[in-house]
Amino acid sequence: MAETPGPLNKPSVKCPSCGFANILGMDRCDQCFHSLMQTGLPKPNQGDKLQTAIMTTPVAALLTGKDLLVCSPSDSVQKVVRIFQKENKNCILVYERKKLVGILSNRDLLWRVAGKYQDLTKVKVGTVMTRNPEYVRATDPIAYVVNKMAMGGFRHVPVLAEDGTPHSIIIIKDVLGYLSRRRKST
C-alpha cells in the first residue's frame, strides 16, 4: 500500500476496502475495520486476461437469481423435494427471521435423509440442513467464490447483500460459463 498524505499531513495508508486515509502503521482501518495488515496479496499476472477476470471481476457479474430458492427450517423435506423436482433445482437456502441459517442441497438429502426416514413429511429441513453455510458478497471477486468452493468442497455458494438478504446461489457452472463467454468475446 502506498503512503499518501493523511490527516495533518502525516504519512498514511489508504484502506483497500473503503479508501479512508489511515495513519501509517495502523492494524485496521479506523473507518470500516478492514485489516491493514494484509501485504503481499497475489495480483494477476500482467497480460493474463483470464487471471485478471477471476481476481478482479466481482461476483455480481455472475448473478442471475435463477437458482434462488428459499425455505424455512420448519418446512418439510417432502415439500422441498417436490419443489426440487418441479423446478429442476438442487439447492435451497434456509432463512429464519430474515437470517440465513442453513442450506439444503441434493447432497444433504442423499447423505442425511435417503434410507433413514420413511415419512419425509415429518422430517423438517432444520434437522438435515447444513448449518451456517459459507457465503460471499456481490462485491467480492470471483476468486473468493472459487476458493470457497475448492477449499470447502462446496457445490453451491450463496451470495448475500450487506443486510443478509439473498441475491443468488453461485455454482461452478456459473463461473465457467462466465469465463467461457468472456474468452470468446476477447
Question: What is 57-73 written as a DSSP string?
Answer: SBGGGG---TT--EE-T
Check residue 139 and give its pLDDT: 92
For residue 156, pLDDT beyond 90:
yes
> Given a cut of 70, is residue 52 above it in pLDDT?
yes
Between 84-88, 127-131, 177-181, the lowest mean confidence (pLDDT) is in: 177-181
Exposed e or buried b per residue across 63-83, where buried means at least 16 C-beta atoms within 10 angstroms of its C-beta? beeebbbebebebbbeebbee
Q: CB neighbours (10 Å) of residue 171?
A: 19
For the ranges 15-19, 23-27, 161-165, the lowest mean pLDDT is seen at 15-19
> CA 42 from chain center: how many Å?
20
Q: Determine contact, residues 134/159, Cβ cutoff 8 Å.
A: no
DSSP 22-45: EETT-SB-TTT--BS---S---PP
Cell numbers of 106, please?
Answer: 441434493
Q: Is the pTM of this model over 0.85?
A: no
pLDDT at residue 45 in the model? 72
Where b means 16+ CB within 10 Å and e means fewer, 147-169 reads ebbeeeebbbbbbbeeeeebbbb
Considering the chain, what is the average pLDDT of its residues? Answer: 87
Buried b (16+ CB within 10 A) or exposed e, 7-35: eeeeebbbbeeeeebbeeeeeebeeeeee
Q: Map grid coordinates 438478504 to a residue.
A: 165
pLDDT band for position 62 (50/70/90)?
A: very high
Q: Return d(Cα 4, Cα 16) in angstroms, integer.
A: 13
Instruction: Assign domain 59-185 to its CATH architecture.
Output: Roll (3.10)
The DSSP letter of residue 76 is B
β-pairing verdict for 21-23 and 166-171: unpaired
Q: Is the pLDDT of residue 41 over 60?
A: no
More confident call, 115 vs 35: 115
Where in the chain are the domains? 8-41, 59-185
Query: What is the per-residue pLDDT across 77-125, written as a single tens digit (0 to 9) for each?
Result: 999 999 999 999 999 999 999 999 999 999 999 999 999 999 999 999 9
